C-alpha cells in the first residue's frame, strides 16, 4: 500500500463514527481540488431529457418512480434544505436508469453520474480520492472457494445501505427529481446514505 493510500485509510478511520448504531462516514476529499462548479445546469438539462422520456414511456416512469419512492420511504434520500449550503461542496448529479438482463429476468437500477462536470471544472469523482483497493484478489478468493465441499454465498448489496453520509458532505450529492408532473425543474433532493 502506498503512503498516500495509508493516509487516506487513516483519515477515514479517524473521521468514522457511529450515530444511533449506524456508521457515519465522510467523503475522502483531495486537499488540492475544490468543486469550482456545482454542475446544476448540466444536471437540469439531463433531468429535463429524462423527464420527457419518462412521460412518453409510462412503464419506464413507473419503474423509475417506484425506485425513487423506495429511496425516499427508506430515508436513503431526502428533500434538500437550501438554507445552509457550503458552495465549495455543492454538486448536482445527473442520473439515469440502466437495465440488466439476466436470463428472463430484468433488473433496473438508477445510476448517479459523479463524473459529469461543467467543461473546465472538476467532477465530483475528480475531487475525491480513489483510495486503496481493499477487496481481496479474485484469484485467491476463487482458490479458497474451491478448497471446501460446501460454499455459502450471500448478497452484500444491503450492507452498503447502512453507511450514512456525514451531513457536511451531503450537499455534494444533490440531484433533481419530480414528485408531480407540475415539477418542471424538479425538486432538489440529496442522498443521506451511500447507495
Residues 24-34 have a mean pLDDT of 87
Render the burial of 91-113: b for 16+ CB within 10 Å, e for the rest.
bbbbbebeeeeeeeeeeeebeeb
Q: What pTM did the predictor assign?
A: 0.78
User: Terminus-to-terminus CA distance in the chain, angstroms?
Assistant: 26
d(CA 164, CA 19): 9
SS3 65: helix
Residues 81-98 have a mean pLDDT of 80
pLDDT value of residue 128: 92
pLDDT value of residue 167: 86
**Helix (H) or strand (E) run with residue 176 in it:** strand 174-177
Banded model confidence at residue 112, pLDDT cuts 50, 70, 90: very high
Q: Are strands 174-177 and 92-93 parallel, antiparallel or unpaired?
A: parallel
Q: For 136, list phi and psi in degrees, rounded to 5.
A: -70, 155
Banded model confidence at residue 185, pLDDT cuts 50, 70, 90: low
Residue 120 has pLDDT above 80, yes or no: yes
Residues 81-93 have a mean pLDDT of 76
pLDDT tens digits for 129-173?
988 887 777 888 888 888 888 888 777 665 555 688 888 888 889
pLDDT tens digits for 50-85?
999 998 999 999 999 999 998 888 888 888 876 666
Residues 118-133 have a mean pLDDT of 89
Amino acid at each position: 500500500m502506498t503512503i498516500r493510500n495509508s493516509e487516506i485509510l487513516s483519515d477515514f478511520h479517524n473521521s468514522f463514527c457511529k450515530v444511533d448504531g449506524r456508521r457515519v462516514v465522510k467523503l475522502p476529499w483531495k486537499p488540492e481540488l475544490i468543486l469550482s462548479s456545482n454542475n446544476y445546469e448540466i444536471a437540469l438539462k439531463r433531468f429535463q431529457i429524462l423527464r420527457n422520456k419518462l412521460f412518453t414511456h409510462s412503464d419506464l416512469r413507473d419503474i423509475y418512480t417506484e425506485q425513487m419512492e423506495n429511496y425516499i420511504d427508506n430515508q436513503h434520500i431526502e428533500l434538500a434544505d437550501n438554507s445552509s449550503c457550503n458552495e465549495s461542496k455543492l454538486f448536482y448529479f445527473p442520473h439515469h436508469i440502466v437495465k440488466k438482463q439476466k436470463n428472463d429476468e430484468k433488473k433496473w437500477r438508477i445510476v448517479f453520474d459523479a463524473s459529469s462536470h461543467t467543461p473546465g471544472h472538476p467532477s465530483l469523482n475528480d475531487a475525491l480520492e480513489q483510495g486503496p483497493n481493499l477487496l481481496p484478489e479474485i484469484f485467491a478468493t476463487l482458490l479458497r472457494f474451491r478448497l471446501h465441499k460446501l460454499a455459502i454465498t450471500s448478497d452484500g448489496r444491503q450492507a452498503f445501505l447502512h453507511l450514512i453520509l456525514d451531513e457536511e458532505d451531503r450537499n455534494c450529492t444533490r440531484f433533481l427529481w419530480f414528485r408531480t408532473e407540475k415539477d418542471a425543474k424538479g425538486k432538489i433532493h440529496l442522498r443521506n446514505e451511500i447507495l
